Amino acid sequence: MLQSAISCWLAIVFSVTAVFAAAPPISAVGSKFFTADGDQFYIKGIAYQLVPTDPLIDTEQCKRDAKQMQDLGANAIRVYHVDPIGDHKGCMDAFADVGIYLFVDLDDFPTQILPDSPSWNQSQLAAFSAIMDEFQQYDNTALFFVGNEVLTSAEVSNAAPYVKAAVRDMKAYRDSRNYRKIPIGYSAADVPGLRPMLQNYLACGDNDAERAEFYSLNVYEWCGDSTYAESGYSQLQKNATGYNVPIFVSETGCRISKPRLFTDQAAILGSEMADTWSGAIVYEWIQEENDYGLISYGPKVDPEVSTDALDGFPRSGTPTTVSPDYGNLKSQWATLSPSGVKLSAYSASASITPPACPTSTAGGWIVNGNAPLPSVGQTLDSAATASDTIPTPTGSASQASASATGGGTTAGGREVTGMCLGLLGVMLGFAVWL
């Protein structure tokens, strides 16, 4: 009895704490992101990959960077590679404390879907699932990418069914484990030959279990002091108008013309695009050989002398802003605070029809969007992806595979019943009233 009472009060404390959290959980509703408190969420993000393996295991470094990102005005980071067995609590808490969310890729170099020889197999599923298992526990995990720039031309568009199959199976795995419905989608290269077929393909179809829950583009078209029309952003907006799931820029920050002015942020987060697009992630945090950095951790050194330096660039320390790029981005974001729409007003009327699935075209997009997706471990030939039918899989269905990988039961001892549910409702109501 005493143990039950303690569990009850802990549930109340944790639930009320979540209401007032600096980073309340994010969900995808219709074509927009919303926080748990009902506000539309717009991304002001930074690509954050200090080291090749996992930048989220050095708590002290995360604390230093989180403080600096708060000064910049960022509310999100994108991390491309993580180690699922690492201890991430310190870093995730450091970013959550300043209202910064994690956008994390599920793939890694050994597990990514390749464009020329695509596959979606049990090993990839298990590796993706391990990362989801680790990061789903944090309220400030915003979403999961199943791939980054897998397709780089229309000639390799036959890899698209494998990307969509990964979305399907990771959604099935998430739901079988009773995890929070953290959105699952894809980060695409901005390839004119794939517009708008790829974004429509990933979000089309009658089966909601197969559709991506967001779509994003790595866009480097807006260089220097360009304009909405000159940059091609007007065409991106045209292609995205009426899209049925959230869409955002997952990389931006052209450096062909220096310094970087980041004037594209005013288009993305302003009147021209904010009703359709959910913000942008700027590439990147750390200064490297590619010269995209917003901060550095000190001058370039001899990598053979300093073990902390990769290619001569220190990977930890006190962040020092790179001028004038850092200040330019900070100034842009300081003037851009789109309010969007409240969830209560939007959800009552949100009913968006998925786009029509694209058909294969000679010399262009080569996938029939209505064809069945491959199951886990199944390999398709190009003729099959272009047709309406796919040979019957020889293995088990992907839904079963996803469920079998992790099971579908919730851990015991988490139920709050009877009087505890009543108290929980009262406390949550009080929190909302406040």
Residues designated as active site: 149, 251
DSSP for 43-57, written as a single string: EEEEE--SSSS-SSS
List helix spans (H) across 205-291: 233-240, 264-268
Tokens of 244: 């049925």
Question: Rounded CA gap, 280 and 269, in Å?
Answer: 8
Structural contact between residues 124 and 163, judged by C-beta atoms closer than 8 angstroms: no
Question: Rounded CA gap, 285 and 88, in Å?
Answer: 19
List, in order, residues 6 or more apart from 341 with CB less than 8 Å away: 32, 40
C-alpha pair distances (Å), 350 with each of 43, 87, 341, 345, 356: 21, 39, 11, 9, 18
Structural contact between residues 354 and 211, judged by C-beta atoms closer than 8 angstroms: yes
C-alpha pair distances (Å), 40 with each of 342, 343, 346: 6, 7, 10
Three-state DSSP class for 245?
A: coil
Q: Which helix (H) or strand (E) holds 420?
A: helix 419-433
- In degrees and rounded to multiples of 5, residue 332 shows phi and psi of -60, -50
Is the alpha carbon torsion for 311, 316, 317, 320 positive or negative?
positive
Three-state DSSP class for 364?
A: coil
